[in-house]
Amino acid sequence: MLPFTAADAKVYWRDQLPAVETGRKLVFVACEAGVIAGTVTLDMAWAPNQPHRGDISKMLVHSAFRRRGVGRLLLSALECEARHRGLTLLTFDTVSDSPADLFYRSLGYQFVGRIPGYAMSPSGRMDDTSIFYKTL
pLDDT score at 1: 64
Q: Which of 44, 59, 29 is nearest to 89 (CA)?
A: 44
CA distance 39 to 96: 20
* pLDDT, greater one: 38 or 3: 38
Residues linked to residue 92 through DSSP beta bridges, in sequence order: 132
| 3-state SS record for 106-135 | HCCCEEEEEEEEEEECCCCCEEEEEEEEEE
Q: Name the residue ranges covered by the structural domains of the chain.
A: 6-135
Average of pLDDT values for 17-39? 95
pLDDT score at 95: 93
pLDDT at 6 over 80: yes
Average of pLDDT values for 46-70? 93
Q: Which CATH architecture has domain 6-135?
A: 3-Layer(aba) Sandwich (3.40)
70 close to 35: Cβ distance less than 8 angstroms: no
CA distance 39 to 57: 9
132: confidence class by pLDDT, cuts 50, 70, 90: very high
